[in-house]
Amino acid sequence: MKNKTIGYAVLGLGIGMAHADAAHESPNAELVAVCDVDAIRLEKAKERYPEATAYLDFDELIRDPRVDIISICLPSAMHADFAVRAMEAGKHVLVEKPVDITPERAALIEDARVRTGMTCGVVHQNRFNADMYPIREAVDSGRLGNIFLGTFGVKWYREQSYYDNGGWRGTWEMDGGGSLMNQAVHTVDLMLWLMGDVASVTSTAGIYNHNIKTEDMTASLIRFKNGAAATFVSTTCAYPGISTEIMLYGTGGSVEADADVLRAWKMKDAPDPEAEEERMLALYGEGNLGVSLREPERLFGHAHVVEDMILAVRDGRNPEVMPEDAIKAVRLVSAVYESARTGKTVYFS
């Protein structure tokens, strides 16, 4: 039973189908339209959501008065153009990651948000993985003490066909990079969210196992304004796809996670550190799936982010991740590429 009908539309029907599923399932919105220039994808979406109007043309989509929110799920370098045009047409927008492929282009989205007064969110769904809540709390409460080191590793695998099938992937023009800009930008976002503002970055990058123009491996040493350091590696060559390491070490303890799965929880101030770790691993050691079994109503992934966007519009509040947050990740990715290209450390003002 729907409570209130916010009209939802999805532009771009690759990962956009996850947005459409979430809007379709939401008790607070109606999926009123889908749009793609690919007639086959559009037809498939139409079969799945007969209630939604199918548009081949974005200009027709933004003229549809039933549409309140548009998810922008186009190749990354198209985000700013379409998000700005949508907001100028009076639509709220949820933009896929990366928010766009350069800080300058991403800033156009923030400018349009401020100028038009529309609501604009960005998809960084991993902040809302089950294990991130206690980890962020351990940072904020000071339980981890002074965090001096983070190690982050996005060790994924993609076949060449992945790059061949989506013609825009692994290109500077449309993807803005490779393993770091596309796959690892989520973990870049998590690192900045957990560790704060960057002072400098020194990086190397290369192409090791794919016929692409950008990179399939980066390795960086990052220094933060608060004095902490981190290593960050990204690759799409780690057969068969091994891990997403998120590891924080502070004077008060250590936490380690693999994506949504908590792996280690060592707190110096716990009355019984081993018992506390056992309890935390029982709660978060099975990842989002384990939590979903206990709390079936809880939303993760795109379902969480789309619902947050719908409620933000309904309630007149900001969504959980704003363009200015997402721009920070793009700025760091750009600095990694600059450092790898020039062989020099890049300093942030």
Characterize the bridge pairing of strands 6-11 and 69-72. parallel
The distance in angstroms from the start CA to the end CA of the chain is: 51
- 80/167 Cα distance (integer angstroms): 20
Count other C-beta atoms under 10 Å from residue 4's C-beta.
10
Site for ligand NAD in 158-197 (CB under 6 A): 166, 182
335 belongs to the binding site for ligand NAD (CB under 6 A): no
Which of 13, 84 has the CB closer to ligand NAD? 13
- 317/311 Cα distance (integer angstroms): 8
Q: Of 13, 52, 280, 291, which one interacts with ligand NAD (CB under 6 A)?
A: 13
- 132/142 Cα distance (integer angstroms): 15
Q: Of 123, 139, 247, 335, which one interacts with ligand NAD (CB under 6 A)?
A: 123
Which of 11, 261 has the CB closer to ligand NAD? 11
Which of 94, 280 has the CB closer to ligand NAD? 94
Structure tokens at 159: 């076949």
Using an 8 Å Cβ cutoff, are 106 and 99 in contact? yes
Site for ligand NAD in 28-87 (CB under 6 A): 35-38, 41, 58, 73-76
From residue 215 to residue 254, the character string flagging contacts with ligand NAD as x (rule: CB under 6 A) and all else as - is ----------------------------------------
Which of 58, 265 has the CB closer to ligand NAD? 58
From residue 286 to residue 325, the character string flagging contacts with ligand NAD as x (rule: CB under 6 A) and all else as - is ----------------------------------------
Using an 8 Å Cβ cutoff, are 83 and 72 in contact? yes
Which of 77, 340 has the CB closer to ligand NAD? 77
Which residue has the CB atom at the shortest distance from ligand NAD? 14
Residue 27: is the preceding peptide bond cis (ω within 30°)? no
From residue 95 to residue 114, the character string flagging contacts with ligand NAD as x (rule: CB under 6 A) and all else as - is -xx-----------------
Q: Of 6, 9, 10, 11, which one interacts with ligand NAD (CB under 6 A)?
A: 11
Segment near ligand NAD (CB under 6 A), from 10-18, 153-161, 203-211, 312-320? 10-18
Strands lying side by side in the sheet with 29-35? 53-55, 29-35, 6-11, 69-72, 92-95, 120-122
Q: Which of 116, 112, 130 is nearest to 324 (CA)?
A: 112
Half-sphere exposure of 61 (CA within 13 A, CB side): 32
Give residues in contact with ligand NAD (CB under 6 A): 11-16, 35-38, 41, 58, 73-76, 96-97, 123, 125, 166, 182
